[in-house]
């Protein structure tokens, strides 16, 4: 059974180490959100279940995609895919 991921807060940052301008806190519930002008992210207040975040080249979660799976339960992740990223969705890994 997958725990409720809607309580998780996904926070994107303009800097590469979760610094710079902070984006909106959004739920890690599989919905699509903008990642424009952001370069790193952190997940806050999550249960002991790994999360998977898929980043997309285009807005509205389209185009080439890149999966980031976090097996550690804390910390900042620098998104470096070699291409610009415009959107993302996040959920618990199955």
Q: Which pLDDT does position 47 carry in this prediction?
A: 58
Question: Taking 90 as the threshold, does the pLDDT of residue 43 lie above it?
Answer: no
pLDDT tens, position by position, 44-75: 765 566 788 999 999 999 999 999 887 555 67
Q: Which pLDDT does position 72 carry in this prediction?
A: 58
DSSP string, the chain: ----GGG-EEEEESSTTS-SSEEEEEE-SS-EEE-TT--EEEEES--SS-EEEEEEEETTTEEEEEEEEE-SSS-EEE---SS---EEEEEE--
Mean pLDDT of the chain: 83
Q: Which pLDDT does position 61 carry in this prediction?
A: 97
Fold of 10-92: Gamma-B Crystallin; domain 1 (2.60.20)
């Amino acid at each position: 059974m997958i725990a409720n991921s809607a309580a998780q807060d996904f926070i994107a940052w303009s800097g590469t180490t979760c610094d710079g301008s902070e984006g909106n806190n959004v739920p890690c519930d599989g919905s699509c959100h903008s990642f424009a002008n952001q370069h790193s992210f952190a997940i806050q207040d999550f249960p002991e279940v790994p999360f998977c975040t898929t980043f997309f080249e285009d807005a509205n979660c389209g185009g080439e995609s890149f999966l980031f799976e976090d097996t550690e339960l804390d910390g900042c992740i620098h998104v470096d895919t070699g291409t610009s990223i415009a959107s993302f969705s996040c959920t618990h890994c199955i």
